[in-house]
Amino acid sequence: MTTKAERHAAWVEDVGILLADMGIPRMGAKAFAALLTAPEEGLTARELGERISASPAAISGAMKLLTQFRMVRRTRRPGERADRFTIGENFWEQAIEAEMQAYGPMIDTVQRGLDELDLSPAARDRMTETRDFLAFFTEEMPRLIERWEKRRG
């Protein structure tokens, strides 16, 4: 029979694998999964490292990535020396919005390639589809987030 701690660790591993398959680096994925189940006050880097059996350097890199994607917040309680990491409110929306900020420059760069490069018809079609898809996604995602916020209440 497995213990609660073993079931929890297995769940964190499972979510970490799923998130890694979605493109989040493995250590960041495991750290995010651990923070999903963390207490309200979050976890210090040391606590997080203990939970997922990771070195301080690995945790540091994972937290840097996750804070850049706005999936994780860094906080500190009065009187504590160590930062705490928590998952903030609306973290999925913030992560999507951070990702979407990269789409504008990507759309511009793809358009520049369409304007300046000597492309085969197949390459031109792929580039055009890339530009149009990213533009569509950029236009539609704010509406989806708005619908989500209404649904969430």
Q: Sketch the domain layout of the chain as residue ranges.
A: 4-88, 102-152
Tell me the pLDDT of the chain averaged across its residues. 91
Q: Transcribe 71-107 into DSSP letters.
A: SSEEE--TT--S-EEEPPTTHHHHHHHHHHTTHHHHH
- What the block records as the tokens of 149 is 């916020």
- Taking domain 4-88, whether its CATH number is 2.40.30.10 is answered by no
Q: State pLDDT tens for residues 82-121.
A: 999 999 778 888 878 878 888 999 999 999 999 999 999 9
Please check whether residue 81 is in contact with residue 112, taking contact to mean a CB–CB distance below 8 angstroms.
Answer: no
| pLDDT tens digits along 62-77 | 999 998 888 899 988 8
pLDDT of residue 88: 76
Which residue is associated with the tokens 């304007």? 115
Give the three-state DSSP class for 96: helix
pTM listed for this prediction: 0.74
On the CB side of 85, CA atoms within 13 Å amount to 26
Mean pLDDT of the region 141-146: 90
